[in-house]
Every structure is written in structure tokens, then in C-alpha cells.
């Protein structure tokens, strides 16, 4: 790792510095939050599978080896760049159950009950991960479902040795798990927290995975697994029914496409806000010579903050599920709109989030994980998947072994009422039965001449989009290696609250003082990491992968 960024990371993580895992390979690469899951993906590639096969196998393995965000009971998004140049996206975001309604989380005084929206069975949307992964495999994979699921089944049944990262997570969540017998049983030994070095087995999850292997989506959305899930819901005032499960379908959508300095940017469309905001911010920044200004300079940071401020204001007003609301994506990602949106940019003064609201035009018409996979044939897959909060609502389905999501909190429960990540939402993202909740997940592929160059994405709730923005700009504008592009400290602004969060080292103390003098209030240096961008990039004659040094992760190539 470059010494500059190793030094910067020391200031971010002074107690336990975690260096990025980095590999170069010729024929394929997988980067994820779990070294075991990355190895599963690599083995699929070695066996002759393509990047889609490897991505699906990695996704199911993450449900076993990284349970805080890898999942069967959540959802996510996938961007695929196929050999030959076609780029497509798959939406397997969770949906609101049929019994959901706009005011379901409001108490008698009209205030949002956050316990209901985050910690109860009523916080769970209809899961999409299993349907999404199987849909990708069926359409673009080359291996059988049984081959793809075999590693995850083995890991769940035979177990694996817990590292200090996972054992520490289980211990940290122990008081939450104690409230739910199935969760306590899964994540402890008879009520005693696991320790690093112990083997962790998940027999109920192994059986659920076996059902999926044998029966496909019916092994999850029908039959014994579905019945266990619905029984849990009915017993505990949850909303998901057998009909909700049977009716769930992932959706193939046209990806968001933009250009930036000769590169093509491909990312996720609504109900993700990530692709729209990423392209919108890049459009606002493209007129400026970011590379000449320099990484961490006052001008670069100021311009990026102001682009972030305006884009996140538009998110609150205009973004939602396109199957329910008219999302003006093509307007928002146009370069003409970016010029209009940035017309009031003052190079010497910060904007004011109380006066900079959502843009207008003449009508002519939050815990998550990311992984990246590239093969030697020109296929690439960028996937972000989530349960929303870390370990979702902390509730394991008894007998089925998987955690429930609490994605319903990503809806706007009440106009202008912030969710768990402080994000503001309005009518476009209000709760409706069957609707997909707005997301910040931003799986992204950067291509040039119809070939994938960079795969990236991140967890982090509202910070996801800006994490991806940093990685893309670090590669394109600042010419960084993949290691440095991922490792370099980041900053984040999301319109409301009007606060700049930044990792120590994202800019100098002198620049911080200059930004404060320009009116950037509430500068908040943080030792908490921003993002976890497990990324892959193609070089001249090699593929390189890096796991973000902010967390334990793994890359595996051959």
C-alpha cells in the first residue's frame, strides 16, 4: 500500500489498522466483505463458471459467512456488464407487504414509532435476494443451481471457524439477540457468546439453502420455508403472507447511464437513488479541472460538497419506486440539468441547505454489503445487498435460520421525517402496498470502449453514493491505483442535516479552516469509517481486486 495512504489510515484507525487485501490475477477476481465468500466465487470461476455464476455463489455464501448484511431475507441490486458490451441491471429490492399502508408507523399523536419501523416484524419487507440471485443465474449463468449453492450449503452445515471480526459482532449484538429465542440460538452457544477460533454451524440455514438448491425459488417462496416465515409473522403481528411471497418478482431494468471524461458510468436506476445521484454529481463536477486542483484541495472539496448538497436535495423530492411514481431520472442525469443546478454555485461561499431545495424544470414529460466480480471473458458483476440495519431487525425465522430485514424504515413514514440514516423523504417514497422502498445502494460499473474498467459499490446507508463518487473520481480524476482509490479518506454531505462528515485525513487542517471560513458549518471529523468499497479493476494485462481496509474482507483471483 502507498505510504501516504497507509499514514492517513493510521489517523482514521489509530487502534487497529486493517490493511486492504490486494491481489492481481489474469483470469478472474472476486472482492467481498468475507474472505471465505470471495474464495467461493473464485473457485466457481476456476471450475469454468462465468462472473454471473461466481457472483450468485458469492451472494449465497455471504448469507452464511457475513450474516449482518449477506442474506436470504433481504434484497439488493445488481449491475451486469456482459462480454460484448451490453449492460443491464436487476432490481431485487424488497417490497412492502400487501397489508402495508401509508400511516402504519404513526402513533396516536402522528409521530413515527421507530420501534415498529426498525425492530418489529412489521419492519420487514418481502425478501428479494433469493429470487434475484436465481433470476440472474437462470438468465446469464452457465452452471447449475445445485453447483452454485453447494459451497454455501457446506459452509452452513459443516460450519467454519469464526474470526475475531464476526465473533466480535455477535458479542456486540448479544443483547439484541437475547430478545428473540431463534436469534439467540443461532448466534450463541446455549446463551453464551461465541469466541474467535470456534466453529460456527447453522443447520437450519443449511436446510433452507438445500430447499432452494432442490426446488429453486419455490424452495424459499413456497413450501416449508415460506410456511415457517409466515408462521413467525402471524405469531408476532408481522405482515408478510404466503401470497406476498408467491407474488414477489425481481425486475430487470434499464441501468442509469452517464459519461464522465470519456468513461461510461453505469449504475442502478430507481428505486435506487444511487445511480441518478452519482451521475448527477459527476455532471456537475465535470466542467472543473479536478485533477489539476488536486485531491483534498479546498476547491475540490468545496465543489464536491456543493454537488452532494444539491443532489441529495433532489433525492428527497423526486426519487421513489418507478412502478408507483413518475421518477424524472433522464432529466436529473442530463448535463443540461446539471449546469442549471450548479448555476448558483459560489466558488467562495458554501451553499445554504435551508434555501437550496430540490431543483425544478419545465415539465416536458443503510448495514449493507457490496461485492464485485470480473471474469477473463469480459463479464463483470457489481452487487450490493442488504438487510438495512446491521443484522436487520435482529430476528431470525425459527426453523429457517435466516434473518429478517427492517427495510420498511427506508420508506418515508412521514414527510420530512428522517429515517435511521438521517435521510429526508417525501410523497414519492411514502409507504404503499407492493411498493419498493427507496435505496441508496449504488453498485456501479465504469466502462471504456464497451469493456469494464472499474467495479465498485459500498454499504453505509446515506454515505453509499458519496463513497462510490470518491472511488470513481480517485481513479479517473486523480489517476490513483485501485488500492489508493479505495483506501483514501472520504467526506460526506447529504443536504440535511447541513453537516460535513469526514474521515481524518480527507483534507488538511488548513483546508478545514478555509472551508469553515467559507461557511461550511458543522464540519465533523470522524474516526468512524465511511463506506466499504470492495472493488475490482482491469489493468493492461491483469485484473486487480482490493477489499476496503476499513473492514476485514477478502479478495480472491486466479
Hey, which residues are catalytic here?
A: 368
Q: Would you list the DSSP string of 306-358? A: HHHHHHHHHHHHH-S-TTTS---HHHHT-HHHHHHHTTT--TTS---TTT---
Q: At what angle do helices 51-65 and 145-158 cross, to 10 degrees?
A: 20
What are residue 4's DSSP bridge partners? Answer: none
What are residue 370's DSSP bridge partners? Answer: 384
> Which residue in this structure is represented by grid cell 479517473?
476
Q: 352 burial class (0-12, 13-18, 19+ CB within 10 angstroms)?
A: exposed
d(CA 155, CA 419): 35
Closest CA to 391 of 77, 92, 153, 171: 171
d(CA 128, CA 126): 7
Summary count for the chain: helices (H), strands (E): 21, 21
d(CA 254, CA 70): 25
d(CA 147, CA 207): 16
Calculated CA dihedral for residues 160, 161, 163, 164, nearest 10 degrees? 120
Amino acid at each position: 500500500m502507498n505510504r501516504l495512504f497507509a499514514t492517513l489510515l493510521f489517523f482514521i484507525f489509530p487502534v487497529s489498522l486493517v490493511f486492504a487485501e490486494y491481489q492481481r490475477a489474469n483470469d478472474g477476481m472476486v472482492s467481498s466483505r468475507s474472505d471465505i465468500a470471495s474464495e467461493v466465487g473464485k473457485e466457481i470461476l476456476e471450475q469454468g463458471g462465468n462472473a454471473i455464476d461466481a457472483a450468485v455463489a458469492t451472494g449465497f455464501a455471504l448469507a452464511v459467512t457475513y450474516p449482518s448484511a449477506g442474506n436470504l431475507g433481504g434484497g439488493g441490486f445488481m449491475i451486469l456488464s456482459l462480454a460484448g458490451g451490453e449492460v443491464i441491471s436487476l432490481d431485487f429490492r424488497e417490497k412492502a407487504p400487501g397489508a402495508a399502508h401509508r400511516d402504519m408507523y404513526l402513533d396516536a399523536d402522528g409521530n413515527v414509532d421507530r420501534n415498529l419501523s426498525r425492530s418489529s416484524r412489521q419492519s420487514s419487507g418481502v425478501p428479494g435476494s433469493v429470487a434475484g440471485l436465481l433470476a440472474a443465474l437462470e438468465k446469464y449463468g452457465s452452471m447449475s443451481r445445485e453447483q452454485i449453492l453447494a459451497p454455501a450449503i457446506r459452509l452452513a452445515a459443516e460450519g467454519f471457524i469464526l474470526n475475531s471480526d464476526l465473533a466480535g459482532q455477535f458479542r456486540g449484538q448479544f443483547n439484541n439477540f437475547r430478545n428473540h429465542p431463534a436469534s439467540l440460538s443461532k448466534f450463541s452457544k446455549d446463551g453464551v457468546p461465541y469466541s474467535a477460533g470456534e466453529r460456527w454451524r447453522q443447520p437450519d440455514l443449511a436446510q433452507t439453502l438445500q430447499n432452494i438448491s432442490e426446488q429453486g425459488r419455490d424452495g424459499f417462496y413456497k413450501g416449508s420455508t415460506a410456511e415457517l416465515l409466515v408462521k413467525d409473522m402471524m405469531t408476532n403481528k408481522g405482515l408478510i403472507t404466503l401470497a406476498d411471497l408467491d407474488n414477489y418478482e425481481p425486475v430487470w431494468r434499464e441501468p442509469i447511464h452517464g459519461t464522465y471524461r470519456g468513461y461510461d458510468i453505469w449504475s442502478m436506476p430507481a428505486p435506487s437513488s444511487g445511480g441518478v445521484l452519482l451521475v448527477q454529481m459527476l455532471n456537475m463536477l465535470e466542467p472543473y479541472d479536478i485533477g489539476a486542483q488536486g485531491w483534498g484541495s479546498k476547491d475540490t472539496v468545496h465543489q464536491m460538497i456543493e454537488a452532494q448538497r444539491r443532489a441529495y436535495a433532489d433525492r428527497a423530492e423526486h426519487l421513489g419506486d418507478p412502478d408507483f411514481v413518475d421518477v424524472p431520472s433522464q432529466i436529473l442525469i442530463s448535463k443540461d440539468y446539471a449546469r442549471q443546478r450548479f448555476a448558483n454555485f459560489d466558488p467562495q461561499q458554501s451553499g445554504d441547505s435551508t434555501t437550496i431545495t430540490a431543483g425544478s424544470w419545465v415539465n416536458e414529460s443503510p448495514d449493507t454489503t457490496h461485492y464485485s466480480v470480473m471474469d477473463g471473458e469480459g463479464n463483470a458483476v457489481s452487487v450490493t445487498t442488504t438487510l438495512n440495519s446491521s443484522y436487520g431487525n435482529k430476528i431470525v425465522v425459527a426453523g429457517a435460520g435466516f434473518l429478517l430485514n427492517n427495510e420498511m424504515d427506508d420508506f418515508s413514514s412521514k414527510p420530512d421525517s428522517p429515517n435511521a440514516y438521517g435521510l429526508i423523504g417525501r410523497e414519492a417514497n411514502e409507504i404503499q402496498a407492493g411498493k419498493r422502498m427507496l435505496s441508496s445502494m449504488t453498485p456501479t460499473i465504469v466502462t471504456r470502449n464497451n469493456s469494464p474498467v472499474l467495479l465498485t459499490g459500498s454499504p453505509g446507508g446515506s454515505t453509499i453514493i458519496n463513497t462510490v463518487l470518491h472511488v470513481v473520481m480517485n481513479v479517473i480524476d486523480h489517476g490513483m491505483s485501485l488500492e489508493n482509490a479505495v483506501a483514501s479518506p472520504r467526506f460526506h454531505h447529504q443536504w440535511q442535516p447541513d453537516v460535513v462528515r469526514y474521515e481524518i485525513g480527507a483534507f488538511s487542517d488548513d483546508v478545514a479552516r478555509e472551508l469553515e471560513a467559507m461557511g461550511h458549518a458543522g464540519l465533523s471529523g470522524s474516526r468512524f469509517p465511511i463506506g466499504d468499497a470492495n472493488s475490482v479493476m482491469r489493468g493492461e494485462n491483469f485484473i486487480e481486486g482490493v477489499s476496503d481496509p476499513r473492514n476485514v474482507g477478502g479478495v480472491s483471483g486466479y
